[in-house]
Amino acid sequence: MNKDQLKMTLTRIFKKIFDDQSISLSNEMTASDIDNWDSLSHMLLISEIEDVFSIKFKLKELNKLKNVGILIETIFNKIT
């Protein structure tokens, strides 16, 4: 999977979790850009990402996910 494909899959996950079909991901996007992105939805998001990509995050990695770009990089490094 290349980064574009990864971003497409991730977009699908975001649309599902935040129940918003208009979401379009950009690297700079943060929790404050999406309605209802709080601790609860974050946990749902992380667990969906873990299921879909068959990966597991460490707490230290979660803490460093400052924006969508870093999230994409972190997932990419785990699946390649």
Partner 1 sequence: MSFSNSVIAPIIHNIINFPRNNAFYINDVFYNYEEFGKEISKIREKIKSLDTNSEFIGLIVNDDLQTYAAIISIWLEGKAYIPIHPNQPFKRNKKIIEQIGLKIILDSNKKPIFSGYSIINLNELKFKKNLLTFNKKISDEKILYILFTSGSTGNPKGVKINRKNISSFFDSFWSSGIKINQTDNCLQSFDLTFDVSLQSFLAPLIKGACVFTVPHNEIKFSYVFGLLEDHKISFGVIVPSLLRFLRPYFNEIILPKMKTCIITAEACSLELAMDWMKCIPNSKIYNYYGPTEATIYCTYYKLRKNENREINGMLSIGKPMKNVKAIIVDKNNRILPKGKKGELCLSGDQITPGYWKNSEKNKSSFFIKSYKGLNLRFYSTGDICSIEKDNLILLYGRLDSQIKIQGYRIEIGEIEFHSREFLKKINTIVIPFEKKQNTELAIFIESKKVDKKIFFNYLKTKLPLYMIPSKIFLLDLLPLNPNGKIDKIKLKKIIINSD
Site string for partner 1, 19-58 (x = CB under 8 A): -----------xxx----xxxx-xxx--x----------x
Cβ proximity to partner 1: between 32 and 54 the closer is 32
Contact (CB, 8 A) for 27 and 69: yes
The burial class, CB within 10 Å (0-12 / 13-18 / 19+), for 72 is middle
Q: How far is the CB of 52 from partner 1 (least distance, A)?
A: 15
CA–CA separation, 31 vs 55, rounded Å? 22
| Binding site residues, partner 1, CB under 8 A | 30-32, 37-40, 42-44, 47, 58-60, 62-63, 65
